[in-house]
Amino acid sequence: MISRRPGPPVDYTLCDQTVTVYHRRADKSIVRTVHSRAFLDFRKNRNVEKTGSREANGFLLVLPCREICVSAGDKVLLGQGPPVEAAEWAAFIPPKVPGLVVVGWVDPKYWRGRLCHIEAGG
């Protein structure tokens, strides 16, 4: 007899970091959400072009969740971040805030028709 587990066959024990997701609404208000089960990996990429190569920073964010909880354009900070007001949004950027990244793409992952986690990066 085969035993079927109700959830996906994925081990999320590596999702042991805390991140703060900042989302700017259409009315310009900022929603701050702290996720205590996350995996944020920073990486360096080398882009090769006709004129040479240059280093570029990238990241991968994994959030186990049951609903889409991050969008392209959101800002993500490693750790529990402070509240950010709408007037501070333009200055809240990666060169000024260590550990801050801006989401460029979001890829939801499903298992048996149910959302099991979100992968996002930039």
For 8-29, how does the pLDDT look when each residue is reduced to its tens digit (9 = 90+)?
Answer: 566 788 899 999 999 999 999 9
Does residue 111 contact residue 8 with C-beta atoms inside 8 Å? yes
Provide the pLDDT for residue 7. 55
Could you tell me the pLDDT band of residue 2, with boundaries at 50, 70 and 90?
A: very low
For 49-67, how does the pLDDT look when each residue is reduced to its tens digit (9 = 90+)?
Answer: 777 777 677 999 999 988 8
**Which H/E stretch holds residue 38?**
strand 30-49
Q: How far apart are CA 113 and CA 6, in angstroms?
A: 12
Of 9, 103, 23, nearest to 62 (Cα)? 103
Backbone angle region of 73, left / alpha / beta, with phi > 0 → left and psi within -120 to 50 → alpha: left
Q: How far apart are CA 89 and CA 52, in angstroms?
A: 34
For 24, phi and psi rounded to 5 degrees? -95, 120
The pTM of the full predicted model, rounded to 2 decimals, is 0.83
Provide the pLDDT for residue 42. 93
CA–chain centroid gap for 104, Å, is 9
